[in-house]
Structure 1
Amino acid sequence: MSVAVDPTSTRRKARTFRLYRTIRGFMRDPMAELERISRAANGEIARLDFGASRPYLVTHPDHVQQVLRRESETFIREGTFWRPLAKLFGDSIMSEGAVWEHSKRVLQPVFSTRHLRTLTDAMAEAINTAIDKLEEPAREGRPIQVMPEMSRIVNETVIKILFGGKITPVEADRLIPAMEQVATSIAFRFLLPFVPDAIPLPGDRAYREGERIMDETLYELVERYRDDPGEGTDIFTALCNARTADGAEPTAKWLRDNLMAMFATSTETTSTALTWLWPLLHEHPDVAARLKKEIRSVVGRDRVTVAHLRELPYVTQVIQELLRLYPVGWAFSRIATKPTTLGGVEIKPGDIVIISPYLTHHLESVWDRPYDFDPERFRPDRARTYHRYAYYPFGGGPHQCIGRHVFNAEAQLILTGILSRFDFELTGEVPARPRIGATLRPKVEVEMRLTPIANGSGSGAE
């Protein structure tokens, strides 16, 4: 794998992309314009002149590693471009400094290696039960909307396993559409974070309404469980049993913030990534055929279990390649707290850098045929050759997602559970491009028809 940039190069000025040259592209298709800029910079540090803000765009693996790992204390999660997420997640594991450290220390045991086996065993059972509900539309030949169905499977699983079943069906029916509303309506604030809140943007009203519903529901849950969270090892119990440094009980606001952060990151991101999986398999029937053969020869007539995953290396490769093309967090920002040099460019305190796994994962100087869906990239012998930060779908450094192993197991179990029972065909338009928001959702609704395989529910190889 070749890399075009020499990170030890002498001082230089970043190539600046002026607003008057980029504004039409950003108005027409923001993602396409960012990709154009990334290709032109080819891994070098680029400066985006937005007029009101001039962040640096960082895509080269060496530079990403410097920001996220080697100088993580210099580049922190604050600043203009972090503001929309800071407002949503407050003082939680998605923040910075002592507040983040405390939240991570409290939540880490839920996702520990020791606890992971118990967690994923229960997750497999919950996923199988959620997939059972696909049998009726499959028998009747009714198409399903992929995003809502992936969201339903993920939410039912997460609520039962990570939240200890403490969220009732009525509350879930409020939280899930509200989270959907927040995730889709935040797009303009995410793209234009420097616009003051006093200036209305499209989606503001829907965002506020979704956030209000989530706040009401989460604060009701906090009130119900904070004094008696039970004996479980779920997120609710861990948060409610936490104590501050001086031994005080956590505030309702801190509990709400962490519940919001964990609900959003464990549901929205997973559902979105899995929605992209089916169009990719539709467009690559050779991958789909190999996947079905592996799954059905291993799972047979059984319901999928965690034990099956060890015998499904191609399933793992498919999920890894899915996350290369559509990483769960496609872009995020950092602000510099002291002077440093990045790729030969002087960075001053207060300068903002934007990191984009999506753009790094599509760099032609890093990846061969970067826009092609090719799970063979992640054969163990090939995966070992890549730069550590050529592929970072869950971020990196101290802030790397603590639930990444749970996500991988969940995605593999859902993919395996569905393809062990059903064949599929897309029945509507195949999405070609993502639209920018908090996550990369398809621009069009994805619809597919499932067909029970000949041997019956959960049956064997073709």
Structure 2
Amino acid sequence: MSVDVGAVPRQKPKNFPLYRTVAGFVRDPLRQLERISTEGDGRLIRLDLGASRPYLATHPDHVQQVLRREAENFQRDGVFWRPLRDLMGDSILAEGAEWEHSKRTLQPVFTTRNVNRLTGLMAEAINDAVDALDEPAREGRPIDVLPEMGRIVNETVIKVLFGDKISPADADRLIPTFDQIATSISFRFLLPFVPRAIPLPGDRAFKDAVRVMDEVLFDLVARYRDDPGDGSDIFTALCQAPTEDGGPPDDRWIRDNLLAMFATSTETTTLALTWLWPLLHDHPDVEDRLVAEIDGVVGGARVRPEHLPELPYVTRVVQELLRLYPVGWMFPRMATRPTVLGGVPIEPGDPVLISPFLTHRLASVWDRPLEFDPERFTPENSRKRHRYAYFPFGGGPHQCLGRHVFNVEAQMILTSILSRFRPSLSETISAMPRIGATLRPRQSLEMTLTPVGRER
């Protein structure tokens, strides 16, 4: 579907020329984008980045048109998608036939029925992973939040979604390697139009990390592709997927999807849970209410799937957490046919940037947008909102397959930790994250956990 360009009143986008923006982008690109978004106030924005002039769409109507109504026109392609395409190839993060094949293969793993079947295993894995926090808590030793949240998430995901086929030794190589990829890709993500022949900071670290990632993943493919088991996990689904002509799947296709699914199923939850603790530190009333709800439902027990329906405030806290810090902060698209967006003619090849981070912080869309307030997500308040005012998992045909897994996992981890410990930050951190492929804290974050003193 495309729009009849002649039938829509023409408007001009709000332009931000390079001379007005370059100093801000050099100092702090994410804060500069937020300033631009605030000034644009929902209008379609044209960014002059010198070598590229993408549109920035933040109004929920425009987001809905790009991600849903004209999803077939706005493709995951173009210069701003190049860094991810280079990394993850013909995977679930591709476009066209490759994406459709990967989605058909992986979708059964993420059906509500299968996720519900796995929640008992997920709760067991989470409780076991949180057990490892007992020792530093008893000793009063601070934990480094990002790697500890990553450890809990990775142990859970490996056991539940990857059928426990990734050994501890493999995980010890994969996890830090992926962290290296996520940080070293930042300059290529920010400056995708710079030719590969021109070196940028992080290029060598990125290549080294991809080499290690390939060694681990191709070895796993060789080990399991002929005997992946009979489970409903990602490994089994990929290794048993026939190609369009009925042949066995290609090693590279399995590798690409393993990497894409490992990245999306671990990075989102890890970083969301990392941002949670500074927010609770700054909002003790929210933490007190969370603790009261968890104490009343979970008590001295270990968290179980049946607890979750009785924890509505936990659900709202996680939803508000993803409003302020959606880990997938930017969704680049490229128009393939002429259309009109916000009254502005869009031509084939034009890049359009969609950002949950920016839309979620628009004052014209959200009351008190920078304030952490879980009450935004009561059923009554949620019904009043535009469908695309809040889209941390994207929307339309490319909406994240694992969104239900994320919600269950994040709620269980949060509940398990607060049922056992009371957190205390060693120091506060900057509210603005560091820009890159995902939103990471600018500095490490340490936290001390005090046991609540229950018998277990």
Please give the range of the TM-score, normalised by the shorter of the 2 chains: over 0.9
CA distance in 2, matches of 1:412, 1:281: 15
What pairs up with 1:344-363 in 2 under 5 angstroms?
344-363=343-362
Shift of the alpha carbon at 1:119? 1.5
What pairs up with 1:144-155 in 2 under 5 angstroms?
144-155=143-154
What pairs up with 1:389-400 in 2 under 5 angstroms?
389-400=388-399
What pairs up with 1:64-143 in 2 under 5 angstroms?
64-143=63-142
User: What amino acid sits opposite 2:62 in the alignment?
Assistant: H
Where 1:231 maps in the other structure, the secondary structure is: coil
What pairs up with 1:441-452 in 2 under 5 angstroms?
441-452=440-451
Deviations 1:91-134 (A, max 9, x none): 00000001100100000000111211111221111000000000
Hey, what does 2:39 align to over in structure 1? 40
**Kept in 2: contact 1:422–1:450 (CA 8 A):** yes
**Kept in 2: contact 1:336–1:351 (CA 8 A):** yes
Where 1:266 maps in the other structure, the secondary structure is: helix
Deviations 1:370-406 (A, max 9, x none): 0000000001111111100000000000000000000
Answer with 9-18 or 322-331: which moved more.
9-18
Query: Normalising by structure 2, what TM-score?
Result: 0.98
CA distance in 2, matches of 1:187, 1:222: 28
Residue segments in structure 1 that go unaligned for 5+ positions in a row: 1-7, 458-462
Query: How much identity, in percent, do the aligned residues show?
Result: 68
Answer with 110-119 or 185-194: which moved more.
110-119
What pairs up with 1:280-299 in 2 under 5 angstroms?
280-299=279-298
What pairs up with 1:264-413 in 2 under 5 angstroms?
264-413=263-412
Shift of the alpha carbon at 1:205? 1.0
User: What amino acid sits opposite 2:302 in the alignment?
Assistant: R
Deviations 1:138-191 (A, max 9, x none): 000000000000000000000111000101111100000000000011111110
Query: Normalising by structure 1, what TM-score?
Result: 0.96
CA distance in 2, matches of 1:129, 1:411: 15
CA distance in 2, matches of 1:421, 1:118: 26
Shift of the alpha carbon at 1:20? 1.3
CA distance in 2, matches of 1:337, 1:216: 36
**Kept in 1: contact 2:314–2:415 (CA 8 A):** yes
C-alpha root-mean-square deviation of aligned residues, in Å? 0.9
CA distance in 1, matches of 2:27, 2:430: 17
Where 1:362 maps in the other structure, the secondary structure is: coil
Shift of the alpha carbon at 1:428? 2.5
CA distance in 1, matches of 2:120, 2:58: 37
User: What amino acid sits opposite 1:254 in the alignment?
Assistant: W
CA distance in 2, matches of 1:110, 1:13: 45
User: What amino acid sits opposite 2:378 in the alignment?
Assistant: R
User: What amino acid sits opposite 1:94 in the alignment?
Assistant: L
Hey, what does 1:460 align to over in structure 2? none
CA distance in 2, matches of 1:328, 1:110: 22
Hey, what does 1:4 align to over in structure 2? none
Shift of the alpha carbon at 1:456? 3.8
User: What amino acid sits opposite 1:149 in the alignment?
Assistant: E
| 1:418 maps onto 2:417 in alignment | yes
CA distance in 1, matches of 2:413, 2:454: 19
CA distance in 2, matches of 1:456, 1:449: 20
**Kept in 2: contact 1:431–1:446 (CA 8 A):** no
4+ residue segments displaced more than 4 Å: none
Where 2:429 maps in the other structure, the secondary structure is: coil
Shift of the alpha carbon at 1:10? 2.4
CA distance in 1, matches of 2:89, 2:120: 32
CA distance in 2, matches of 1:423, 1:79: 46
Hey, what does 1:194 align to over in structure 2? 193
Shift of the alpha carbon at 1:444? 1.4
CA distance in 2, matches of 1:131, 1:260: 25
